[in-house]
Amino acid sequence: MTTRTHETIDTVHEVHRLAVAVDASFDDFKSRYERAVPRLDAQVFDRLMREHADWDNVLRATALNAPHGFIVYWSFDVTALMRLAGDTWRCTEYLMGNHTIAQRMFRHHPGIMLYAPLRTGIYEDWRGTTWFSVDQPSAQFASFGDPRIAEVGLELDHKLAALLDHLGVPPPARLTAR
């Protein structure tokens, strides 16, 4: 194995941040989102890793944990912390994804984990409008220059559109193109 010291790869790529106004209160939409995208069942996956389970068992467990294709790996309600500075916005951020989908890209380039899971946010603006925000997956994953990774990125766009549709939010056209 050759080690290259001080090598840098500088990749410029365009990202589309999608912010979609939600016709619901912050609390209502957050609750619906968290029901549709449940937290990772850490006990199940810890057990699978301890047992060195085969990938088919991981696929089955993930399908049960992700009824709409996605799992929340981490979340943080930043509202109370930012109120200490006098801010009154309501905002919760999430890392949402699916490790079985990420694996299909990871096998080609482990650097994809910079964007998997997806970072999403639910917040209120100054008018009280609730927003759901995410960077478009296909734009992020296309930056790796590998058509196999880019194809999975497009699949994630469509899965994200289906999730928004399930939540009663019209998905941006950018997510359903192609």
List, in order, residues 6 or more apart from 110 with CB less than 8 Å away. Answer: none
Q: Quick one: 26-173 is in which CATH superfamily? A: TT1751-like domain (3.30.310.70)
Quick one: pLDDT at residue 177? 84
Amino acid at 9: I
pLDDT, average across residues 107-128: 97
- Evaluate whether 106 touches 112 at the Cβ level (below 8 Å): yes
Cα–Cα dist 169/29, whole Å: 10
How far apart are the C-alpha atoms of 178 and 171, rounded to whole Å?
Answer: 14
> Nearest to residue 31, comparing CAs of 88, 75, 80?
75
DSSP 101-131: HHHHHHTT-GGGGGTSSEEEEEEE-TTS-EE
Give 59-73 pLDDT, tens digit per residue.
Answer: 999 999 999 999 999
Residue 2 has a pLDDT of: 66
How far apart (Å, rounded) are the C-alpha atoms in residues 62 and 68?
11
Q: What's the rounded mean pLDDT across residues 112-120?
A: 97
Element (H, E) at 21: strand 17-22
Enclosing H/E stretch for 95: strand 91-97
